[in-house]
Structure 1
Amino acid sequence: MKKIIVILLVLISNTEVFSQDNLLQNSFLREGITLNGRWNYIVDVYESGYYNYRREPHDESENPGAGAFFVNAKPKDKTDRVEYDFDAAPTLVVPGDWNSQKENLFYYEGTLWYKKSFDVPNYDASKRYYLHFGAVNYFADVYVNGEKLGAHRGGFTPFNFEMSKVLKPKDNFVIVRVDNKRFPDEVPTVSTDWWNYGGITRDVTIYELNETFIEDYSVQLDKENDKLLKGFIQLNGESKANSKVLVNIPELKINKTFTTNEKGYASFEIPVKKIDKWSDTNPKLYTVSIATDKDKISDKIGFRHIKTKGADILLNGEKVFLKGISIHEENVMRGGRAHSIEDARVLLGWAKELGCNFVRLAHYPHNENMVRLADEMGLLVWEEIPVYWTIDWENMETYKKAETQLKEVVSRDKNRASVIIWSMANETPQSEERLSFLSNLAKATRELDNTRLITAALEDHPSKDNKNIMVIEDKFSDIVDIVSFNQYYGWYGGSIEDLKNISWEIAIDKPVIISEFGAAALQGFHGDKTTMWTEENQAYLYEETLPALAKIPQFSGVTPWILTDFRSPRRMHDVYQNGYNRKGLISETGNKKKAFYTLQKFYENIKIKE
């Protein structure tokens, strides 16, 4: 392959909100030119590569000068002063976070500039070229050949920019300024219980597209009719209007042509005689091809129904119990942010070994690898956005940031059969402002996608009249399809011995998922079952909690906290935690704890209530 030069720069700003090009659907299966690999980087603590000494952004100046890192300046001769040199700078692997790759960047939060050089093999000036990022945490400014393509805010969702006008066949460079600093008005906000991994954490890819191409599409089973496929196709380009688009699903003998309107959009309905529905026990995927005379894409899509009826969750009309586990997106054993399909196979493979048919991807959108693989493996999925703890509920700009992240993950994963739940938030304190914020998110979600269920991880508390009775008193429970809540009786308050006397009273006829419970244990540390931090204590809590939860009449699923130990700067006990949240059933070294087998046995024996 020919040499490729890219300089990539990612940055965080607390004041500006940038738009991006519309997200390319199914970039996962499109053929592209990868820019993964080693990128040069410069740490910019004072952000002098972005601002001049008057704190004015270089990229807003007509003549930014050599001090602007994104121009990738080189001395013209021996008398010329340039105070940086990307080509002489050290390197980081992309995708990957900087914290786990460089010891001196372990705790770093701030601005770091990435640069990569690239050529474009078989460059064709009649084509359109897009630069796509799987995710950058948290704010990214992106430049190619010294020209700004745009910026993106949000650490866990994909984005892309067209770069056709600035691209050359050879000697290109992309620079990205990345900033992972935390701010009170961002999503998530300043306080979380997970590591704030900075960097270009997912794949970077160049896509060569025709002048008019298939930008977006949806193909879904109608929510009420299992003999009808519904969807849409959106073209991008000068000849997008009145174009013929062919939808082909060979196994279903579907070969239908539709015509786009003046905006390049075509909606469709296709009757089908019989569909082999996707489920956790039958993860059937159909090959779906969409083609115009200028573009063609192919996807693997499953078709299923997910609904609620009273306190039941119905998958394809049959009651299903969600045997789940919560997962953070970390690579066990290697450390750092997980990013590869191999990482996903390890995490979801452990979930299957545990006996799960369901995973909660917490507390942010995970890599597309996870949901694609879940489609193949027959794992139902809960996805959520990082509306977490102390969000600035009264700030409209904060709401827009949350809604944007929601739209981006729904756009990316709307064709994934495994995804059955969109979650709006986790453990958020009640107020009228918060209720309005979350209700608006739920409304926006239903407008984007009415085929899936909505929930949020709420909280329980003791009844005022009886401390042994736990209740859910949250007005948002009236909005959601599923009532979910986190509960930590026996860990954060109460004793494990008392769990047999605890009951939950939930006065609402909806399915209930216990979205979190658990206890921390240091793998390899043993003692009696009442000794804190031991594997025996963690297993004891599971042994007592699971039967207690199973008594809830609406009990429809559970996702204990959590599959593996994960890094958190909040966990500071040098002996037992050492910077890790130890509630995992598997250690950061990949060793299973006793509670893993306790939950596994529960899932083996659980019966669906009729």
Structure 2
Amino acid sequence: MNSTKLTPLFLFIAMLFCGTSQAQDVFITNTQNRNFTSLDGKWEYVVDAYETGGMGGMPVYKNAVPKDKSDRVEYGFSRGKTLWVPGSWNVQHPELSYFEGTIWYRRTFDKVDISEGKRYFINIGAANYMATVTFNGEVLGKHEGGFTPFSYEVTDLLKEKDNFLIVGVNNSRKADYIPSKVTDWFNHGGIIREVKLIEVPKTFVNNYFIALDKSTLGKSTKQIQGKLEFTGNTLPSKARISIPELKVDQEIIIKNEDATSFTLNVKGLELWSPKNPKLYQVHIQAGDDTISDEIGFRTIETKGKQILLNGEPIFLKGICLHDENPLRKDRANSSEDAKLVLDWAQELGCNFIRLAHYPHQENIVRLADKMGILLWEELPLYWGIQWGNPEVLKKAKAQYKELINRDYNRASSIIWSIANETASIPDRNAFLGDLADYIRTLDDTRLLSAAIKKDQELDGHPDSVYTYNDPLIDKLDIISINEYLGWYGGAPEETRGKTFKAGFEKPIIVSEFGGGGSARILC
């Protein structure tokens, strides 16, 4: 009889990825308005140079500490070696400037006021790109995607003292990731957004979707459509929705364990717009759970070649923006970071910003609500995506669902974009068509777009008319084009004669234009 002897390294990898039961990833919206303990600050770290997660058969997430000088612990954390969270590791230590691989983070803390009737979740705003989350020596799960939030429950693992949260983050680029191997932005690695320990009741409203019914736009009594989602074993029988300023206080019967829909009739509603970014305090109470949010109500749609906000044509004037603090040269991760760039945009006269090329921090979307700036949001479905790989399509749907869950209630967000500069081929068309249909099942309150290529793909071609007939346009509400006349080919006398033509009666956004510049000159 043949037998296989497992080496210590193989045994360890089996423990890390197979042998430990994983908690379910639960989406929790509006985390800043819940009871939470911030876990931001200095975290200890260790570089996983061999991508093993530990040495000598002992995984790093077990947090082993040698009992004496003879105790064999080959791999672990040493005090004094720290990284700030949130933040990318690339800007914090010179030796990590261009590092791509895995770094393990450790945060220790006490929690002395554990309540028997509560549940506790670790919430991470984003970690780029693959995160392995462990708590008190147990693997909670793995999350893929560098820009969207995720949570794991730790109720049964939480102790009054000496808790340790250990997270392994890998920012390596791979062909079946989103984005793929090639991008044109810096690959910041690490835990790039806030980390919280969230406290909620045994059953709670983990998400809600609230928006104005556009069919009632011109009526004196308007309708607000909503849906509540719950997490918990025993659902409350009733919920209550109140909007004090509108004198709304309505009881809702909870009938469905997956989601409960409701309709509110309101009078005197002020519509949200850049000129009047009106937000209302909305309160939700269900059982022992109470959550509040500031929500604006608006409609966005198209008619022919016009974009209509609240039924009126609007001309979008804006810029493209990366999710970075340009002074600190790090990923943006705070309200102050958001205010810096949004103030600059308004000084330029912008009413619109393309959040390129991936989901930005939630703070910027919430602040745009207050400042009256319209937003385009997108996933990094960019160059080199494996369009024919069904697993990549699953990843795209999962990441878009997380983004929609996070930002559905934000009035400023008006466009979901599903691709940037991708060639029209059958696999790509099927992939993006499927994704477009999926997004519409989750959210019919926003417009769909994509930055598409012209029919003439070679730069500097002699044609005076650029045409756009990508079959993907059938799935879109808005045609968006990236064009760099005068930079990628075209002297001034040539560019003045160029015209653009699309075979569709749809609005057009120039989603990118301009030219490159020397960073040394700009700085």
Length-normalised TM-score, structure 2: 0.92
Q: In the alignment, is the contact (CA less than 8 A) between 1:486 and 1:516 conserved in 2?
A: yes
* Residue 38 of structure 2 is aligned to residue 34 of structure 1: yes
Partners of 1:196 and 1:231 lie apart in 2 by: 38
Tell me which residue corresponds to 1:75: 66
Equivalent residue letter for 1:104: E
Does residue 234 (structure 1) correspond to residue 229 (structure 2)? The answer is: yes
In the alignment, structure 1 residue 139 sits paired with structure 2 residue 130: yes
Q: Distance in 1 between matches of 2:70 and 2:49?
A: 27
Q: Is contact 1:233–1:266 with CA below 8 Å preserved after alignment?
A: yes
Give the whole-Å Cα distance in 1 for the aligned partners of 2:117 and 2:418. Answer: 43
**2:4 corresponding residue in structure 1:** none
Match of 2:146 in 1: 155
Amino acid at match of 2:392: T
Change (3 A) 1:168 1:328: same
Give the corresponding residue for 2:86: 95
Q: Report whether the alignment pairs 1:342 with 2:336.
A: yes
SS of the residue 1:86 aligns to: coil
1:408 to 402, 408, 416: 402
Q: Is the 8 A contact 1:462 1:468 kept in 2?
A: no
SS at match of 1:370: helix
State the one-letter code of the partner of 2:516.
Answer: A
Structure-1 separation of matches of 2:247 and 2:209: 19
DSSP-derived class of the 1:28 partner: helix
Structure 1, residues 102-161: CA drift from partner, whole Å, max 9, x if none? 100001000100001011142223310000000000000000100111110000000000
Q: CA deviation at 1:235?
A: 1.9
Q: What is aligned with 2:11?
A: none
Matched, 1:48 2:48: no
User: One-letter code of the match for 1:231?
Assistant: G
Indicate conservation of the 8 Å contact 1:74/1:82, yes or no: yes
Counterpart residue number, 1:493 = 489
1:318 maps to 2:322: no
- In 2, Cα distance between the equivalents of 1:111 and 1:273? 54
Higher strand proportion: 2
- Is 1:468–1:501's contact at 8 Å kept on the other side of the alignment? yes
Match among 101, 124, 127 for residue 115 of structure 2: 124
Distance (whole Å) between structure 2 residues aligned to residue 318 and residue 281 of structure 1: 13
Residue 225 of structure 1: how far off its partner (Å): 1.6
| Partners of 1:202 and 1:322 in 2: CA distance | 29
Name the residue aligned to 2:499.
503
CA distance in 2, matches of 1:102, 1:298: 40
> Is the contact between residue 463 and residue 469 of structure 1 (CA under 8 Å) also seen in structure 2?
no
Counterpart residue number, 1:484: 480
Structure 1 residues 441 and 158: alpha-carbon distance in aligned structure 2, compared to 1, 3 A threshold: same
Preserved CA contact (<8 Å) 1:41 1:89: no
Partner secondary structure for residue 364 of structure 1: coil
Deviations 1:16-61 (CA, angstroms, capped at 9, x unpaired):
xx985231011132231000000000011212325x78xxxxxxxx
Q: Secondary structure at the match of 1:182?
A: coil
Aligned match of 2:422 in 428, 453, 460?
Answer: 428
Distance 2:497 2:24 in 1: 54
Q: Indicate the residue corresponding to 2:267 in structure 1.
A: 273
Equivalent residue for 2:470?
474
* Residues 356-402 of structure 1 deviation map (CA, whole Å, 9 limit, x = unaligned): 00000000000000100000000000000010111000001111111
Indicate the residue corresponding to 2:13 in structure 1. none
Q: Is contact 2:34-2:199 (8 Å) kept?
A: no
TM-score (norm 1): 0.79
Do residues 211 (structure 1) and 199 (structure 2) align? no
| 1:85 paired residue among 70, 76, 83 | 76
Per-residue CA deviations over 1:231-276 (Å, capped at 9, x if unaligned) read 1112221221x52100000111100011212516321011112310
* Residues 496-505 or 447-456, more deviating: 496-505
Larger deviation: 218-227 or 286-295?
Answer: 218-227
Deviation of 1:216 (Å): 1.0
For residue 412 of structure 2, the aligned residue among 414, 418, 423 is: 418
Structure 1 residues 20, 495: closer, same or farther in 2, change over 3 A?
farther
| SS of alignment partner, residue 61 of structure 2 | helix
- Deviation of 1:89 (Å): 5.2
Q: Tell me the matched-pair count.
A: 498
Q: For the residues of structure 1 that align with 2:116 and 2:264, how far apart are their CA atoms? A: 38
- The equivalent residue for 2:378 is 384
Structure 2: distance between partners of 1:462 and 1:167: 59
- In structure 2, runs of 5+ residues without a counterpart are 1-15
CA RMSD, 1 decimal: 1.9
Deviates more, 1:122-131 or 1:166-175: 122-131
Aligned to 2:12: none
Change (3 A) 1:80 1:322: same
1:513-566 C-alpha deviation (Å, 9 max, x unpaired)? 010011123xxxxxxxxxxxxxxxxxxxxxxxxxxxxxxxxxxxxxxxxxxxxx
Instruction: Kindly provide the amino acid, as one letter, of the partner of residue 186 in structure 1.
Output: Y
Q: Is the 8 A contact 1:463 1:471 kept in 2?
A: no
Does the 8 Å contact 1:463/1:470 carry over to 2? no
1:312–1:510 contact (8 Å) kept in structure 2: yes
Q: Is the 8 A contact 1:243 1:264 kept in 2?
A: no
User: Residues 297 and 344 from structure 1, CA distance in 2 versus in 1: closer, same or farther, beyond 3 angstroms?
Assistant: same
Do the aligned residues in 2 keep the contact of 1:462 with 1:469 (CA within 8 Å)?
no
User: How many angstroms apart in 1 are the aligned matches of 2:280 and 2:247?
Assistant: 11
Is 1:407–1:448's contact at 8 Å kept on the other side of the alignment?
yes
- Paired residue for 1:300? 294
- Does the CA contact (< 8 Å) of 1:96 and 1:202 recur in 2? yes
Out of 175, 178, 184, the residue aligned to residue 184 of structure 1 is 175
Within the candidate set 516, 531, 535, 2:512 is matched to: 516
- 2:445 alignment counterpart: 451
CA shift, 1:84, in A, is 2.7
Amino acid at match of 1:424: I
Q: Any idea what SS the aligned residue of 1:501 has?
A: coil
Give the aligned partner of residue 594 of structure 1.
none
> Is residue 35–residue 200 contact of structure 2 (8 Å, CA) maintained in 1?
no
Please tell me whether the aligned partners of residues 390 and 429 of structure 1 are also in contact (alpha carbons under 8 angstroms): no
How far has the Cα of 1:463 moved from its partner? 9.7
Say which of 208, 214, 222 aligns to 1:223: 214
